[in-house]
Structure 1
Amino acid sequence: MIIFGTALLAVCHLLGIFLGDLLGQALGVKTNVGGVGIAMLLLIFARIYMQRRNMLPKLTELGVEYWGALYIPVVVAMAAQQDMVSALRGGPVALLSAIAAVAVCACVIAVINRTERPQAQTDGAPILHDNPLLTEAE
């Protein structure tokens, strides 16, 4: 069933690359614009859609989660490597924009963490082993 998660990722990736190429052509650029990001959004939306319709077995969901978690760091690393050469040639503007992007991300994460509602408290830790010595000591 995990192979279906891989197939879903492949379909989303191909569709994202195609849509990124179309977006690049529409903007008058001869390159893919946001294809990988579009692919990740398609994967997220496809997973949510399939979950709500009970079309996603648990093992397939695990496959989608695995590839989604693996896909993002690999793509970010590839993009960072490609952009590093042009950033070094770009001068201080590229460096300032990178620092600004990191600062904005840090601020957004801080705001999200502060506005998040606390989760309900559990009744206690689950008992893994029935050990009479532990229950007597308490």
Structure 2
Amino acid sequence: MVIYGVARLAFCYLVGQLAGELLGRLIGVEANVGGVGFAMLLLILLNDWFARKKRTNTLTNSGIEFWSQMYIPIVIAMSATQNVKVAVSSGFIAILAGIVPVLLCLSTIPLLTRYAKSKSVDTYGNYNPVP
């Protein structure tokens, strides 16, 4: 059902926001640090896990697909409300908290490329070996 996809996305969003708030407090920044990013990573991992277990269907995927199309406008709206000036003036750790995840993501691209060449997933979450 579509609602399962939306529920999965909502769960990931809430967990991601909590992780972002916790990370912000741990590094001493009065802001959510990467909450939406954590949510999207968790959603990717959960979708992959459900696809491997064959526990997903077309309607569930359509609920996730709907919100994935809304992702960019939501992120833009959320980032517009953040106070970048305060984050930068908070010190080096705030800048480091932005640079390190970007570098980590860039370093995983070759790994993901090799993995994508070995397996392919269709729009329904089914694995198809690449010829």
User: Which ranges of 4 or more aligned residues in structure 1 deviate by more than 6 Å?
Assistant: none
Q: 1:86: how far off?
A: 5.0
1:124-135 alignment to 2 at 5 Å? none
Higher relative contact order (CA 8 A, sep 6+): 2
Q: 1:76: how far off?
A: 2.1
Bigger CA radius of gyration: 1
User: Which residue is equivalent to 2:28?
Assistant: 28
Aligned equivalents of 2:62 and 2:44: distance in 1?
A: 13
Moved more, 51-60 or 63-72: 63-72
1:61-72 alignment to 2 at 5 Å? 61-72=61-72
Q: TM-score normalized by structure 1? A: 0.56
SS class of match (1:30): coil
User: Which residue is equivalent to 1:123?
Assistant: none
User: Which residue is equivalent to 1:55?
Assistant: 55
Aligned length: 89
- RMSD over aligned CA atoms reads 2.4
More strand by share: 2
User: Which residue is equivalent to 1:128?
Assistant: none
Matched, 1:41 2:37: no
* Structure 1 residue ranges without an equivalent (≥5): 91-107, 109-116, 118-138
User: Which residue is equivalent to 2:111?
Assistant: none
